[in-house]
Structure formats: C-alpha cells, structure tokens
C-alpha cells in the first residue's frame, strides 16, 4: 500500500528537479531564434555542417507561418491504435496479446456524422516467432506498431477510390521510427522493412497519412539554435548547453499564433536514409489552441502545398472537435485500450483452456496471488 504522507515528502524533496525553472533558457532561445531567422545565409551554413544531432532542412523563410482554417467540407477521418498485454513469465502459456482498435468518422455537410468502431484482438504464441527467441517488450511494441499500420492500410484500401481523396488516416505518434535506431540489429532488420513497405503502399494508394504528436519533445528546431550558439563548431559543447531544457514546441510558441502552422521541415535523422523518397518524413508545428502539436507527413504530401493545407485543416478541425486533441485519435485509443477487467478475462480464459488441456500448472503461485486480494 502506498504511504501517501511519505509520498508527499518524497515529492517535496524533488520539487526543484521535477519542476525546473527554464525561463532563462527560453529567453536565450527566443533571442537566438530571432537572430537566425534574420540571417539570410543561415540555411546555407546549415547545409554545410555535419552535426551530431538531427538538423532539419526547409525551403523559404524559416519563420514563415501559415493560417489554418478548420475543414468545413465533407471529409473522413480514420485512426487505428493498439494496446497490448505483455508476456508473463509466471504464466504456463508463453504468449502475448495485441488489441487493435479503429474508428472511422465521416463528416457530411448538413448531416450528422457517421461513426464506425471496431477492435480486433491478436494472440501470438512463442512458436510463431521462434527465430526471435524470448519475447521482449520491444518486440511486442514493434509488432503492435506493425499491426496498427496494417490495420490502417486495410481500413483505407477498403474504401472506394473516390472516397480516399478526402480521407485522412491518423496515427498517434511519429512516422519516424526513432525507437528502432537504438535497438538491436535484429529488431531493426525485423521491423523496418515491414514499416517502410506499408508506408510505400499508403503512397501507392494515395492514402493521406498523418502522425500526430501531442506535447512533442522533439528538438530539431532547438538544434538549429545550438548550431548558432556554438558558431557551427559542434565539438564545442559548452555554448549549446545553454538551451538544454528547451523543446521545439516552445520555439514554435514564440511566433506561431492560434490556428497557424510553421513552414514544413524535412527530417534528416539517420534512420530516414532508409526511407523511399516518396515517404521520407516531413513535419510542421501547429497551434491548435490548447497546445502546439507536431504533425508528420510523408514527402509526397509535404511537397504538395494543396495537400499540406488540406491535411492541416483536417488536423485542426479534429483537434477543435476533440477540445484540444483530435477526436478520432481519442476514440481509437478507447477502442484499443486493454483495461484491468479485460486483462483478468484474458488470463481467466488462458487458465480455463489450460485446465481443459490437462495443464494443471497454468499459472505460478505468485501470479495467482497478484490477481487475488488477500488479507
């Protein structure tokens, strides 16, 4: 049982670490940002430098902003999300569950919107992935993302072609597979080709795909400030540590007004070198009112001004309808999430099937004690 009075004291002791004051760093970042935006040679200098961190590229005015009008005409928003029950070593059956939830909302002028909900559970046994060896959380997470993308492809491809031109497929999170950069080669080789194949299929079917990141912690715009602080001498670390507490959303907050977005930036992270040209990730920041969100789109959308404006207008409309967060993403999460009673039901079914198969030791005593309240 959690001792609440002791918890309060523990939190009070960490108060300054948990809520640091970054006002001085923000002041420095604001000053340097305005400085680099006024430098006509800055983009050229960025192109020439080899930085140890991802540095974006862009066309035109670095500080350009564009008004975004919420989409008012007919469109369809689809989202697919996933949740999981990780393998439990205290369970006799070596398996894991991934639940994929999806939502489709069709908006029609002058009519009520049409909403379709769905969820599909997938159970995987250890025998299906013998080459991968023992299941890890990273492997389960990788498989979940694959099923989310595959589900999105299936949902949108099933639409008639004339319906796809005004349909946006939303994913919660990045289209840049950052998590694979730091993983073992086995995970990278296992999942990256599958992810890229699905992105390519989205392009071939002209399915407009969006990665939406709420409260983004990305620092690619901050990296531009770091370059200026160290005068493009990236080995000189001391100057650029002055903005270590700043994130891109704060930079965008300096100049992006309500219902406006930044220019479109190209992501140049090392992992994107593996992407086909048409689906290399680009991004922009948008002020939806309650926050500044990051929106990621593939190159074939980003390089088309009309498509980019359309995506931004749908994103904003969804955020307004969801009171600060796209409603289609929120609803897909509700369809996907595996709650406590669902988890208990899953393990109950495992035990039941195990007993029917004459497996008397279906769960360890520790596992059973954790699921039953005892005094």
Please state, in angstroms and rounded to a whole number, the distance separating the CA atoms of residues 281 and 277: 9
Cα(270)–Cα(122) distance, rounded to whole angstroms?
32
> Percent of the chain beyond pLDDT 70?
92
From CA 301, how far away is CA 202, in angstroms rounded? 11
pLDDT averaged over every residue in the chain: 90
Domain ranges of the chain: 65-220+257-336
Cα distance between residue 317 and residue 313, in whole Å: 6
Provide the sign of the torsion angle of the four alpha carbons 156, 304, 276, 189, taken in this order.
Answer: negative
State yes or no: pLDDT of 365 exceeds 70.
no
How many Å apart are CA 140 and CA 200, to the nearest integer? 23
| pLDDT at residue 131 tops 90 | no
What proportion of the chain, given as a percentage, has pLDDT over 90? 66
pLDDT at 375: 45
The lowest-confidence range among 130-134, 164-168, 274-278 is 130-134
Rounded CA-CA distance 289/323 in Å is 9
Which residue in this structure is represented by tokens 């194949």?
197
Q: Please report, in angstroms and rounded to a whole number, the separation of the first and last CA atoms in the chain.
A: 12
Which of 277, 155, 272, 156 lies closest to 206, judged by CA? Answer: 156
- Whether 352 shows a pLDDT value over 90: the answer reads no
- Per-residue pLDDT at 5 exceeds 60: yes
Quick one: how many helices (H) and strands (E) in the chain? 16, 11
Q: What is the pLDDT of residue 132?
A: 58
pLDDT grade, residue 170 (50/70/90)? very high
The candidate with the shortest Cα–Cα distance to 146, out of 129, 167, 166, 165, is 129
pLDDT tier for residue 189 given thresholds of 50, 70 and 90:
confident
Confidence of residue 367 (pLDDT cuts 50, 70, 90): low
Least confident range from 127-131, 174-178, 303-307, 338-342: namely 127-131
Backbone torsions φ then ψ of 277, nearest 5 degrees: -55, -40
Q: What is the pLDDT of residue 91?
A: 65
| Pair 113, 106: CB distance under 8 Å | yes
- The neighbouring-strand residues paired with 265 are 58, 283
Task: Give the confidence band of 180 by pLDDT, cuts at 50, 70, 90.
Answer: confident
Which residues fall within 8 angstroms of residue 324, CB to CB, at 6 or more apart?
288, 289, 290, 291
Predicted confidence (pLDDT) at residue 33 exceeds the cutoff of 60: yes
How far apart, in whole angstroms, are the C-alpha atoms of residue 343 and residue 340? 5
Is residue 115 very low, low, confident or very high in pLDDT (cuts 50, 70, 90)? very high
The predicted model scores a pTM of 0.90
Q: Average pLDDT of 230-239?
A: 88
Q: Residue 197, exposed/middle/buried by CB under 10 A (0-12, 13-18, 19+)?
A: middle
Q: What is the pLDDT of residue 366?
A: 52
- Beta-strand ranges (E) seen in the chain are 57-58, 65-67, 75-85, 95-107, 114-125, 167-172, 208-213, 260-262, 265-266, 281-287, 292-298
Res 374: pLDDT: 44
Mean pLDDT of 309-334: 97
Select the more confidently predicted residue: 282 or 19.
282
Q: Please give the backbone phi and psi of residue 68, each rounded to the nearest 5 degrees, phi first.
A: -125, 125
Q: Which residues contact 236 (CB under 8 A, 6 or more apart)?
A: 230
**21 has pLDDT over 70:** yes
pLDDT exceeds 70 at position 56? yes
Sign of CA dihedral 41, 52, 273, 253: negative
The answer to whether the beta carbons of residues 125 and 92 sit under 8 Å apart is: no
> Which pLDDT tens digit goes with each residue over 204-227?
999 999 999 999 999 999 999 999
- Look at domain 65-220+257-336 and name its CATH class: alpha beta
Identify whether the C-beta of residue 265 lies closer than 8 Å to the C-beta of residue 178: no
Owner of token pair 């609440």: 4
Model pLDDT, residue 134: 61
Residue 200 has pLDDT above 90, yes or no: yes
List, for residues 57-106, the tens digit of each pLDDT value.
999 999 999 999 999 889 999 999 999 998 876 665 678 899 999 999 99
pLDDT > 50? residue 44: yes
Q: Determine contact, residues 210/168, Cβ cutoff 8 Å.
A: yes
Please report the pLDDT score of residue 351 as a whole number: 80
pLDDT of 165 strictly over 90: no
What is each CA distance from 122 to 95, 96, 114, 305, in whole angstroms?
A: 10, 8, 27, 39
């Amino acid at each position: 049982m959690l001792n609440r009075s002791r918890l309060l004291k523990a939190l009070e002791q960490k108060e300054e670490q948990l809520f640091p004051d970054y006002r001085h760093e923000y002041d420095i970042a604001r000053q340097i940002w305005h400085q680099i935006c006024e430098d006509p040679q800055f983009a050229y200098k960025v192109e020439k430098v080899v930085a140890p961190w991802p540095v974006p590229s862009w066309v035109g005015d670095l500080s350009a902003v564009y008004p975004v009008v919420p989409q008012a005409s007919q469109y369809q928003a689809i989202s697919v999300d996933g949740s999981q029950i990780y393998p439990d070593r205290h369970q006799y059956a070596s398996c894991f569950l991934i639940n994929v939830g999806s939502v489709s909302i069709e908006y029609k002028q002058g009519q009520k919107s049409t909403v379709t909900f769905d969820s599909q559970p997938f159970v995987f046994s250890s025998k299906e992935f013998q080459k991968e060896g023992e299941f890890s959380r990273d492997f389960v997470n990788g498989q979940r993302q694959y099923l989310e993308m595959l589900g999105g492809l299936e949902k949108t491809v099933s639409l008639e072609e004339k319906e796809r031109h005004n349909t946006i497929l939303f994913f919660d999170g990045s289209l840049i597979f950052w998590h694979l950069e730091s993983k073992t080669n086995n995970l990278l080789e296992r999942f990256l080709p599958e992810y890229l194949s699905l992105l390519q299929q989205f392009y071939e079917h002209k399915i407009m795909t969006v990665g939406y990141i709420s409260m983004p912690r990305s620092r690619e715009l901050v990296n531009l400030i770091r370059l200026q602080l160290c005068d493009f001498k990236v080995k000189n670390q001391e100057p650029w540590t002055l903005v270590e507490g700043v994130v891109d959303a704060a930079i965008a907050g300096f100049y992006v007004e309500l219902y406006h977005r930044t220019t479109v930036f190209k992501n140049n992270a090392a992992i994107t070198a593996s992407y086909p040209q048409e689906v290399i990730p680009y991004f922009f920041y948008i002020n939806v009112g309650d926050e500044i969100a990051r929106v990621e789109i593939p190159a074939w959308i980003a390089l088309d001004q009309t498509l980019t404006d359309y995506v931004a207008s749908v994103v904003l409309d969804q955020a307004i309808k969801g009171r600060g967060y796209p409603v289609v993403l929120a609803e897909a999460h509700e369809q996907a999430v595996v709650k406590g009673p669902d988890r208990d039901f899953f393990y109950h079914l495992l035990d039941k099937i195990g007993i029917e198969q004459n497996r008397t030791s279906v769960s360890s005593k520790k596992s059973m004690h954790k699921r039953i309240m005892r005094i």
